[in-house]
Amino acid sequence: MTTDTPGTGPIDDKQPVADATDATEVLRAEHISKSFGAVTALSDVNLRLNKGEVLGLLGDNGAGKSTLLKILCGFQAPDSGRIVLNGEQVSLKSVTHARSLGIDVVYQDLALINELSVFHNMYLNREYRTGPLLNNRKMKALAKQHLADMGVRIPSVDVEVAKLSGGQRQGIAVARSVYSDAKILLLDEPLAAMGVKEGALILSLVRDLKERGEVSIIIIAHNYAQVLEVCDRVNLLQHGEITFDKRSADTSVEELTDIVVAEYRAAMQARQNGG
């Protein structure tokens, strides 16, 4: 694991998070901002991701996690700031463009199509074809093999995904990204609304990927106990900025809780003062 660049701890506002010359860095976001009308979702986000690293991106609802994710995966353009991928500045034009560069996202709503079979979902918008026709046989065989490799157990790749459990669906969504040659995987709330057993399936999936070391992962979540389990490093996003950056080994659920409780206290104080 590449955790040889330790986090800097609670950080100064306007400084880049990491040394730009770090050789193992795969992704860096600098001074990213994004507003929607009068609402500022992100004010100044600096974030970096190392090769093979699992980074937990924590934050309250409305802290800007989803906006940051949409910018990193090419769904939206930032108002300002830049994204550096493998040492080169890139401007992500679309989800498809980002994906062609190896950045892929697994959304909270999974982006699976209930009405389609598992294997069609796995290859949605990157189907194998023979001439104009879909090569279903090839997609079925590959899907079966890939899911087995990743330990995602489903009754058959022919079933509609509507028939599967939440954990199985998530497993399919993650497998879909990994096997589309994603080098950077963005997982949006992968454990939300999931039972303990299902969550364990996803955590072990992430752990497997970490052991292989080929994929770098950003997990977006608000349950820090689960995130600390699998992440090498955690960042905390508050009011559109990264306010905290530490290796998981150097922090604890307690420390993170204290920060968030302090934020609540400050918010309540502000309410009282405001009338």
Return d(Cα 125, Cα 123) in angstroms, integer: 6
Please report how close the Cβ of residue 34 comes to other proteins at its closest, in angstroms: 18
- Could you tell me the smallest distance in angstroms from the CB atom of residue 104 to other proteins? 10
Rounded-to-integer distance, Cα 199 and Cα 181, Å: 24
Q: Which stretch binds other proteins (CB under 8 A): 24-32, 118-126, 226-234, 245-253?
A: 118-126
Instruction: Tell which one of 45, 105, 209, 227 touches other proteins (CB under 8 A).
Output: 105
Tokens read off for 131: 């001439």
Are 198 and 169 a contacting pair, CB within 8 Å? no
Please state the closest distance from residue 119 (CB atom) to other proteins, in A. Answer: 11
Encode 122-151: b = buried (16+ Cβ within 10 Å), e = exposed.
bbeeeeeeeeeeeebeebbebbbebbeebe
Under rule CB under 8 A, how many of the chain's residues touch other proteins? Answer: 28
Contacting residue, 134, 141, 203, 260, with other proteins by CB under 8 A:
134
Identify which of residues 20 and 113 has a Cβ nearer to other proteins in the complex.
113
Applying CB under 8 A, the span of 5-13, 50-58, 93-101, 235-243 interacting with other proteins comes to 93-101
Which of 144, 194, 187 lies closest to 165 in space, CA to CA?
194
Among 124, 225, 261, 262, binds other proteins (CB under 8 A): 124
Q: Determine if 268 is a binding residue for other proteins (CB under 8 A).
A: no
Q: Is 15 helix (H, G, I), strand (E, B) or coil?
A: coil
Is residue 95 involved in binding other proteins (CB under 8 A)? Answer: yes
Which residues, numbered 70-89, are part of the site for other proteins (CB under 8 A)? 75
> Rounded to the nearest 5°, which phi and psi values hold at 170?
-60, -40
Supply the minimum distance, in Å, between the C-beta of residue 110 and other proteins. 7
Restricted to residues 153-172, the positions that interact with other proteins (CB under 8 A) are: 159-160, 162-163
Question: Contact, 207 vs 151, CB < 8 A?
Answer: no
Under the binding rule (CB under 8 A), the answer on residue 192 touching other proteins is no
Neighbours of 160 (CB within 10 A): 15
Instruction: Give yes or no for a contact between 92 and 77, defined as CB atoms under 8 angstroms apart.
Output: yes
Contact stretch for other proteins (CB under 8 A) within 11-19, 123-131, 216-224, 237-245: 123-131
How big, in percent rounded to 5, are the helix, strand and coil portions of the chain? 35, 25, 40
Helix/strand number for the chain, H first, E second: 8, 12
Contact range with other proteins by CB under 8 A, out of 18-26, 102-110, 198-206, 216-224: 102-110
Q: Is 137 a residue that touches other proteins (CB under 8 A)? A: no
- Nearer residue to other proteins within complex by CB, 116 or 228: 116
**Cβ(205)–Cβ(171) under 8 Å?**
yes
Give the shortest CB-41-to-other proteins separation in angstroms: 19
- From the list 20, 18, 15, the residue with the least C-alpha distance to 44 is 15
CB 69 within 8 A of CB 105: yes
When asked if residue 110 is in the footprint of other proteins (CB under 8 A), the reply is: yes
Q: What is the binding site for other proteins (CB under 8 A)? A: 75, 94-96, 99, 105, 107, 109-116, 120, 124-125, 127, 129, 132-134, 136, 159-160, 162-163
